[in-house]
Structure 1
Amino acid sequence: MSPRAFISFEMEDSWARDFLVQQAKDKSNDVEFIDYSVKDPFDSSWKTQCREKIARTKGTIVLVGKTTYKSDAVIWEIEETKRQAHRMFGIQINSNDTHRIPDGLSGFDVIRWNFDHIIRKLSAWE
């Protein structure tokens, strides 16, 4: 069983989160992804709930899209993941584009979208 992963993403890239979750189901992998999408204003109650969600995982996957680098929520989730000393890696969500890496994620692995590679990285978190 692969460890639970928190998914951090910019709302405009929710399609990538949906695709990742669907790929896990289609490939019959024992993978569990958790995300806590920002539906309400970015406030302290959101942070508290998000902090708890991250704590229940082994690490965070950051979906890196065109505007991810300037998302306050994603940057906060990266910092919270590091504060909790959890693992983390990023995924460039567009196969033909390399997007700017958000602050705090540099120095961590950022890979291209390849589901088998994603599963291998998650398995290393065991």
Structure 2
Amino acid sequence: MARPRAFISFQMEDRWARDFLKEHARNPGNEVEFVDYSVQNPFDSSWKTQCKLRIAQTKGTIVLIGPTTYQSEAVDWEIRETINQNHYLFGIQINSDKTHRVPDGIPSSAVIRWNFSQIATWLSTWV
């Protein structure tokens, strides 16, 4: 089975969740691959060009939803670019005890709680 490649979009303050997700994916039993393109200056024109290419190399984008994700202009741009490329998109609430505001562009039906089995199941539909 081909490994679905996913672009991870997140607010920098939530990079712990990105790191945790990537560690789960390293388990040899998981058929998941992530592309991480963290940036320091997300509004540099070369960043957008590189990000657009990275998204194009994946099947879709996972948005890690934390307390301030909905306010991030970079996350908003990545969501819009994913939609423009007609790729898959879903969000993950990163805190098990809290529900954070979902960024525009992600349907509520495409938001799940943190559960790696469920994440892997969603990604398996991308192949």
Alignment TM-score > 0.5, same fold: yes
TM superposition shift of 1:117: 0.3
Instruction: Measure the CA separation in 2 of the matches of 1:109 and 1:59.
Output: 12
Partner of 1:88: 89
Partner of 1:60: 61
Aligned residue runs from structure 1 range 25-40, under 5 A: 25-26=26-27, 28-40=29-41
Retained in 2: the 8 A contact 1:2–1:119?
A: no
Which residue identity is paired with 2:7? F
Partner of 2:45: 44
Retained in 2: the 8 A contact 1:88–1:108?
A: no
Which residue identity is paired with 2:31? D
Partner of 2:77: 76
C-alpha distance 121-62 of structure 1, shift in aligned 2 (>3 A): same
Which residue identity is paired with 1:67? T
> Tell me, which stretches of 5 or more residues in structure 1 are unaligned?
none
**C-alpha offsets along residues 6-52 of structure 1, whole Å, 9 cap, x if unaligned?**
00000000000000010111363131101211223522111000000
Partner of 2:116: 115
Structure 1 runs (4+) greater than 2 angstroms displaced: none
Instruction: Measure the CA separation in 1 of the matches of 2:45 and 2:89.
Output: 23
Instruction: Measure the CA separation in 2 of the matches of 1:42 and 1:106.
Output: 25
C-alpha distance 117-80 of structure 1, shift in aligned 2 (>3 A): same
Partner of 1:11: 12
Percent sequence identity is 64
Report the TM-score when normalising by structure 1.
0.95
Which residue identity is paired with 2:41? D
C-alpha distance 74-108 of structure 1, shift in aligned 2 (>3 A): farther
> Tell me, which stretches of 5 or more residues in structure 2 are unaligned?
none
Retained in 2: the 8 A contact 1:90–1:108?
A: no
